[in-house]
Amino acid sequence: MSHGYEGAELLERVRKANPLVHNITNVVVTNFTANGLLALGASPVMAYAKEEVAEMAKLAGALVLNIGTLNAAEVEAMLMAGRAANEAGVPVIFDPVGVGATNYRTETARCIAEQIKLAVVRGNAAEIANMIGEPWMIKGVDAGQGSGDVVALAKRAAAELGTVVAITGKEDVVTDGQTVYVVGNGHPLLTKVTGTGCLATSVIGAFAAVERDAVKAAVAALTYYGVAAERAAAEVGERGPGSFQAAFLDALAHTTADDVKRTGRVEQR
């Protein structure tokens, strides 16, 4: 794995710009997402009412759509916000939480991907596979199906969805269908705290707000995120997920561009 990436500089740009990130997200992760974005140095806002989402999306540096606890009113609001963001040139990042688990999630996720121009779709391997109608065992990935399979899946998904795809897991894969980057940073404790995937998606939103190249934005965001997780894990030692959650928020605030440069593990495949 090679070290360092121009993403370190992007982290500084995010902190300088303090971009507004409009999230239409799920009820489980709302507070954690807002706090994580604040720790990074971005400005979170959650707004869901159809009376205001278009206005808010146009004000924002990025719009994040997350279907974790979807319902009909929220889906309508997501489409309205997504259209407004597209019109205003605001990047839209999508987290297809649990797609494939129910028909409603699958249909909604595909409808959003068809109707809204998405800058990045971020999910775990199972979710990205389900976005394009391919079966995928979540446990199979954990049990060590090679990342080669994940790279191939990411490329197929990017081609089919016509967007940048970021598949997170032990390694994170980011591709526009041509260029592929693999980020090696991260820590298993991230899987013991709910919302770390959703927050990763919103952090990608903050980076996309200051960098129009969505591959660069997603790689930089996930490298920074993984480096912060490693720092937090070192801090908490043998203590558990509760301590890790707090330490991770602290690490998101304290991780510097220099830390990312020194300990980021990004490889182009």
Ligand X SMILES: Nc1ncnc2c1ncn2[C@@H]1O[C@H](COP(=O)(O)OP(=O)(O)O)[C@@H](O)[C@H]1O
Residues 224 and 203: beta-carbon distance below 8 Å: yes
Which does residue 177 bind out of ligand TZP, ligand X, Mg ion, none, counting CB within 5 to 8 angstroms by kind? none
Binding part of the chain for Mg ion, among 3-11, 94-102, 139-147, 177-185 by CB under 5 A, reads 94-102
Q: Which does 145 bind (CB under 5 to 8 A by kind): ligand X, Mg ion, ligand TZP, none?
A: none
Instruction: Please report whether residue 197 would count as binding Mg ion according to CB under 5 A.
Output: yes
Q: Which of 170, 235, 246, 263 binds ligand X (CB under 6 A)?
A: 170
10 binds ligand TZP per the rule CB under 6 A:
no
Residue 71: burial class (beta carbons within 10 Å; 0-12, 13-18, 19+): exposed
Question: Which helix (H) or strand (E) element contains residue 229?
Answer: helix 214-236
Footprint (CB under 6 A) of ligand X, residues 206-245: 225-226
From the number of C-beta atoms within 10 Å of its C-beta (0-12, 13-18, 19+), residue 63 rates as buried
Member of 61, 68, 169, 177 binding ligand TZP (CB under 6 A) = 68
Token pair 């899946």 in the structure block, residue:
153
Three-class secondary structure assignment of 231-258: HHHHHHCCCCHHHHHHHHHHHHHHCCHH
Distance CA 97, CA 201 (A): 11
Which CB atom, from 43 or from 185, has the smaller least distance to ligand X? 185
Window of 8-16, 32-40, 76-84, 181-189 that interacts with ligand X by CB under 6 A: 181-189
Binding site partner of 187, from ligand TZP, Mg ion, ligand X, none, Cβ cut-off 5-8 A by kind: ligand X
CB of 255 to ligand TZP, least distance (A): 19
Check: CB of residue 154 under 8 Å from CB of residue 180: yes
In terms of Cα–Cα distance, which of 224, 213, 232 is closest to 258? 224
- Residues engaged in binding ligand TZP (CB under 6 A): 26, 28-29, 68-69, 97, 194-198
- Residues engaged in binding ligand X (CB under 6 A): 124, 168-170, 172, 186-188, 190-191, 196-197, 200, 225-226
